[in-house]
Amino acid sequence: MSIVHELVDASEWNVIPVRFRGFEALGSARNSVVYSPEFECLGHRWRVEIYPGGYGGGYLHSEEGMVSVYLRNCSEASIEVKYSFAIKNSLGYEVALKKHEKRQKFGSLDRGWRNFAERSKVIDALVEGALVIEVRLKAKAKGPSSHFFGENPFCKAMLSYFLDKETGESCFGWKMGANQLEKLASVLGQEGLVHIPITGVEPESFRLMLYYIYGGKLTKKDFEERSKDILEAANKFGVTNLKLEAESWFVRSTQISTKHVLDLMLYADSMSCALLKEVVMDFIVANRAEVIEKISFGDAPGSIASDILAATMRKDSDGNGDEMMCTMRVSQLRKVLHQKGLDIDGSRETLIALIKENA
């Protein structure tokens, strides 16, 4: 059984219904645990652990007749989230709810409640014999700090031109005489405008791209409202750093499901979005049984085999050393290239080849 959820935005609550079928038949012995299938949310893998007859012994034990419920982070990396559990009956009424008002850090240990709900109340709320627990997760609302996309290079480039003797004089006029300044003003103030048609790009995203090119910093709202359009505009006109930043936001705000995974893969391949493609591959590996059953990869790019192998090997690799370069995260590859002053855009294969050429 697979578990899916809809991720609208990382700053919003993500609601994942988790079902335990045949709950009454699971028994009521203390410390008898039942695990849900793993599911993905906020870039991590999770599972719910229930103790139908309660958990523990001695001091840390649940009260008699209580069901214990815990949430475990199955990914290697830690994450801080707000979380809650809720049970609704067949009519949609909430009959049990536990939540943490403050963010909790999930590392290798699970978190939850020993005395989550009375077993009798849980049984009364079963839906066709299944216990349905709504897992609600919310991450800290912040920008995509974990994805590497580089800085806006405009200010550094302008300072370089300004300090250069030749370009400083000709472009900025800091040593120009009066006649040269008048001539420059005349050219800039001449009547008549040359109209250059711009096609194939959304107007507001083009405006935002120009704002970025001239040193502006786009806001969280800009990316939330049109990350895909900004990505496509930046890709069309070669504004690499903006493209990669928009890609990072697009990855964070996009729902990945079996239904749309092939479309996202083809889109990532056509736009050379290595980070998006990496996330798609991670999803395919994590949900391989369902993906193999429902998806035909006849139209998939030829590199899919190596991408899937890299995604499969990644969790077993520390990503250090040239011999493991093929399993490094895209953000790691981009950081290596950035440190060498090289282009950080392109497919995973392009990034690896560029690093090897300049080793």
Residue where the block lists tokens 């700090």: 145
- What contacts 226, CB < 8 A, 6 or more positions away? 202, 204, 205, 208
What is the pLDDT at residue 244?
Answer: 94
The β-bridge relationship of strands 66-73 and 111-118 is antiparallel
CA dihedral 93, 96, 97, 98 (to 10 degrees): -170
The model scores a pTM over 0.75: no
- Sign for the CA dihedral angle at 82, 83, 88, 94 comes to negative
State residue 68 phi and psi, 5-degree precision. -100, 140
Instruction: Going residue by residue through the chain, which has 359 residues, state the pLDDT in tens, using 9 for 90 and above.
Output: 334 433 333 347 889 999 999 999 998 888 899 999 999 888 889 999 999 999 876 667 888 899 999 999 998 888 989 999 999 888 888 899 999 888 888 987 889 999 999 999 999 999 999 999 999 998 865 555 567 677 777 666 765 665 566 654 555 444 444 444 343 434 444 444 445 677 888 888 988 888 888 778 889 999 999 999 999 999 999 999 999 999 999 998 888 888 888 889 899 989 999 999 988 888 888 888 888 888 777 767 666 777 777 777 765 554 444 446 777 888 889 988 988 889 989 888 889 899 999 87
Structure tokens at 162: 């300004």
What is the pLDDT at residue 17?
Answer: 92
- Ramachandran category for residue 32: left, alpha or beta (phi over 0 → left; psi -120 to 50 → alpha): beta
In sequence order, the β-bridge partners of residue 111 are 71
Give dist(CA 315, CA 327) in Å, integer. Answer: 9
What is the pLDDT at residue 159?
Answer: 55
In sequence order, the β-bridge partners of residue 309 are none
Reduced to 3 states, what is the DSSP secondary structure of residue 357?
A: helix
What is the pLDDT at residue 150?
Answer: 73
